[in-house]
Amino acid sequence: MKNFYPMLVLLGSLMLTGCATAIATAGSGLAGNLNTAILNQDDPQLVRDGAPAYLLMLDSFVEGAPENVAALSAAAELYSAYGVVFVDDPIRAKKLTNRGRKYGQRALCAARKEACDIWSLNYGEFTEQLNAIDKKQVEALYTFGLSWIAYIQAHSDDWSALAKLPQAKATLLRVQELSPPYKQADIEHFLAVLDTIRPPALGGDFDAGLAHFERAMSLSGGYNLSIMVDFAKYYARTLYDRELHDQLLNEVLAADPVHTGYTLFNTLAQDEAKDLLASADDYF
């Protein structure tokens, strides 16, 4: 299965917002400024080096409030994102995303006790439990789904982890069903990648994936460059559409990556676009 790392670049942007929420809830006025500084940073290496201190800070908040959904969600999202975006060692990435997954499970469990064992259920039982979750738990459910996707990404050599992809997709669809306006562009982006990480012969749904990518780009207003990178990587490459592939990536490289809330991850997206274009002659 192809690596779906860039999707978690977006997760990184989402988790930082969650971190700010949790730390602000705990009483620190510094959180909002720290969050903004990270998202607007154009040096990913600086963030790579500094984020572990943020991880430890969130661990301390969870220790002090083990049933706090906001704190658990923030920890789940940051551990998940850091593990797949900034960690090159696969063993360490597995460890960090496993911790993120556990925090995500705990967040959903704290929000809805009946969902505490949902991770271990088979697909039929899982969807039955999923349908019982209501709008009050939508934020915890969203975090749960994203931490799950990160875990699968880092454990892509484990078929038992990959077998859970349908549950991860069903989770995002349930979030979308419960609250259509909630994280619209982000969910469309994730669903687009989930529909196109496998070729059509192996179950990929490229018609649905195309519709999701187009909606994601429209809803994001063009500010999130990682959507176009994923569109090129998963859709255009798999269908061997060189014209679309190069068009999307050249648009990414021509764009100004500096935009409030997106600079860090747009910078990463442009690096990915350069790599994809450099390898295009060998691929097509």
| Same-domain status, 127 and 41 | yes
Q: Report the percent of the chain where pLDDT is more than 90.
A: 58
Based on the fold, state whether residues 164 and 208 are members of the same structural domain. Answer: no
Residues 57 and 116 in one domain: yes
Residue 197: the pLDDT is 84
Whether the per-residue pLDDT at 26 is higher than 70: the answer is no
pLDDT at res. 176: 96
Confidence of residue 33 (pLDDT cuts 50, 70, 90): low
**Mean pLDDT, residues 154-177:** 91
Last residue of a domain, one of 173, 201, 221: 173
Q: Do 202 and 165 fall into the same domain?
A: no
Check pLDDT > 90 for residue 28.
Answer: no
CA distance 26 to 256: 35
Least reliable range by pLDDT among 78-87, 107-116, 140-149: 78-87
**Structure confidence at residue 161 (pLDDT):** 86
- Would you say residue 178 lies in a domain? no
The verdict on 150 and 204 lying in the same domain is no
Do 87 and 194 sit in the same domain of this protein?
A: no
Question: How many structural domains are present in the chain?
Answer: 2
Name residue, tokens 């892509």: 156
- Range of the structural domain that residue 9 is part of: 1-173
- Determine the straight-line distance between the first and last CA of the chain, rounded to whole angstroms: 19
Considering the domain architecture, whether residues 250 and 138 belong to the same structural domain is answered as no
Of the listed ranges 14-28, 148-162, 175-189, the least confidently predicted one is 14-28
| pLDDT digits 0-9 by tens, 92-124 | 999 999 999 999 999 999 999 999 999 889 999
Check whether residue 107 and residue 195 sit in a common domain: no
- Whether residue 192 is predicted with pLDDT greater than 70 in this model: the reply is yes
- Inside any domain, residue 93: yes
Do 79 and 119 reside in the same domain of the chain?
Answer: yes
**Residues 105 and 222 occupy one common structural domain:** no
Q: How far are the Cα atoms of 16, 41, 114, 129 from residue 124, in angstroms, in the given order?
A: 33, 43, 16, 9
Exposure string of 166-194, with b = 16+ CB inside 10 Å and e = fewer, is ebbbbbbbbbbebbeeebbbbbbbbbbbb
Residue that finishes a domain, picked among 173, 207, 230? 173
Q: Measured between alpha carbons, how far is 78 from 83 in angstroms, rounded to an integer?
A: 8
pLDDT digits (tens, 9 = 90+) for 196-249: 988 888 888 999 999 999 999 999 998 999 999 999 999 999 999 999 999 999
With b for 16 or more beta-carbon neighbours within 10 A and e for fewer, the 78-94 pattern comes to bbbbbbbbbbeeeeebb
Whether the CB-CB separation of 17 and 40 falls below 8 Å is answered with no
pTM of the model as a whole: 0.84
Q: Which amino acid is at 172?
A: L
